[in-house]
């Protein structure tokens, strides 16, 4: 097992080592503030975990300058502790990607272009005319329909389905008529797609996932959606068709986004929000009511039913006051 001293970690990742009498202390792994022991390095990013800092048994903590005085163990000071932790944790990541090549159980369609360095796992299905770039990794049971294009270093986790038909149906008056989905799915470089996420092909033009996007598990991306570079979307988000999401956005879990909307760059949306209008200004947005006691929720629900009546009564009173003032 590879080990590093605190001094080596500080030097390699340009961190400032303080409160340390033994820079040669050996680090053999990472851990949490609560459970890390000797030989482990941990980190503090979220202020809600400050309560664990003073009692941590870790050999060192990665944190920002403002929190160093709260630590009783050596600290590695970073401008972005979570990023520094990610880089250090990678040193101890012993789970390697599958070997380059196509697994014997994978099914590959006709006229595909698959780079020799790509990794196609067991029981993957790759449709006709797909293009898979260098160092891509498809974990077992990934399905690419026809004409899916992957850039470089794309990682797709098990169960994901890319390029299935979008939900296109026209009603004739008596029954539904399927609308052909003629576009593709085009995915840029350095994208990661979580397990069981689905991305529909475009109806006419392409569905596009730009460079550096991160999609969590169980996300639905409908036809003709475009997701801007370096946007990250948490699990169970549903994005309806033809919506455009900008660059560097963060979208919380279980958020639902209506179709044909535009969300500009650098928007943060809280989990379980319902986005039904376009967002044209960067910032933080949130939609749902917070969890509350059932009795309080029931009272609020009953009152909500009477809001229209209350509004009408107030409007009538205002009209009456205007009429009286007009005649006085």
- Looking at residue 218, its pLDDT comes to 98
| CA nearest neighbour of 141 among 128, 154, 160 | 160
- Mean pLDDT in residue range 236-263: 98
Task: Please state, rounded to an integer, the average pLDDT across all residues of the chain.
Answer: 95
Render pLDDT for 168-226 as a digit per residue (tens, 0 to 9): 999 999 999 999 999 999 999 999 999 999 999 999 999 999 999 999 999 999 999 99
Distance CA 176, CA 231 (A): 35
- Looking at residue 328, its pLDDT comes to 54
101-285 has the same fold as 4-91:
no
Give the three-class secondary structure for 64. Answer: coil
CB 101 within 8 A of CB 136: no
Q: Classify the C-alpha dihedral 266-242-286-238 as positive or negative.
A: negative
CA 255 to chain centroid: 11
Domain borders along the chain are 4-91, 101-285, 294-327
Distance CA 149, CA 184 (A): 8
Render pLDDT for 93-151 as a digit per residue (tens, 0 to 9): 988 788 899 999 999 999 999 999 999 999 999 999 999 999 999 999 999 999 999 99
Render pLDDT for 279-316 as a digit per residue (tens, 0 to 9): 999 999 998 777 778 898 889 889 989 999 999 999 99
Render pLDDT for 92-108 as a digit per residue (tens, 0 to 9): 998 878 889 999 999 99
CATH architecture of 101-285: 3 Solenoid (2.160)
Higher-confidence residue of 78 and 323: namely: 78
- Which residues are designated catalytic? 223
**Given a cut of 70, is residue 327 above it in pLDDT?**
no
Domain 4-91 has CATH 3.40.1390.10: yes
State pTM to two decimals. 0.89
- Mean pLDDT in residue range 151-162: 98
């Amino acid at each position: 097992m590879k080990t590093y001293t605190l001094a080596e970690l500080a030097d390699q990742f340009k961190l400032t080592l303080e409160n340390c009498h033994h820079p040669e202390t050996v680090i053999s792994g990472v851990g949490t503030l609560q459970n890390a022991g000797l030989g482990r390095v941990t980190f503090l990013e979220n202020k809600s975990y400050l309560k664990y800092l003073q009692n941590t048994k870790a050999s060192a903590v990665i944190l920002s300058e403002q929190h160093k005085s709260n630590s009783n163990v050596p600290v590695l000071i970073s401008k972005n502790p979570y990023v520094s932790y990610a880089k250090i944790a990678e040193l101890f990541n012993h789970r390697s990607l599958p070997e380059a090549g196509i697994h014997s159980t994978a099914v590959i369609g006709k006229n595909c272009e698959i780079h020799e360095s790509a990794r196609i796992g067991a029981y993957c299905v790759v449709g006709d005319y797909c293009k898979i770039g260098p160092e891509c990794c498809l974990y077992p049971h990934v399905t690419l329909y026809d004409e899916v294009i992957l850039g470089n270093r794309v990682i797709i986790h098990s169960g994901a389905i890319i390029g299935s038909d979008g939900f296109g149906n026209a009603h004739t008056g008596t029954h539904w008529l399927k609308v052909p989905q003629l576009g593709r799915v085009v995915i840029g470089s350095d994208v990661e797609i979580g397990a069981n996420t689905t991305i529909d092909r475009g109806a006419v033009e392409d569905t596009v996932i730009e460079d550096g996007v991160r999609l969590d598990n169980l996300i639905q991306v409908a036809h003709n959606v475009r997701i801007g570079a370096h946007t990250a979307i948490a699990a169970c988000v549903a994005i309806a068709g033809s919506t455009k999401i900008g660059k560097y956005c963060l979208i919380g879990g279980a958020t639902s986004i209506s179709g044909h909307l535009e969300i500009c760059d650098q928007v943060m949306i809280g989990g379980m929000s319902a986005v039904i209008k376009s967002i044209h200004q960067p910032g933080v947005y949130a939609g749902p009511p917070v969890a509350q006691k059932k009795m309080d929720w029931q009272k609020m629900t009953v009152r909500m039913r009477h809001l229209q009546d209350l509004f009408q009564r107030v409007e009538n009173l205002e009209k009456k006051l205007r009429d009286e003032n007009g005649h006085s």
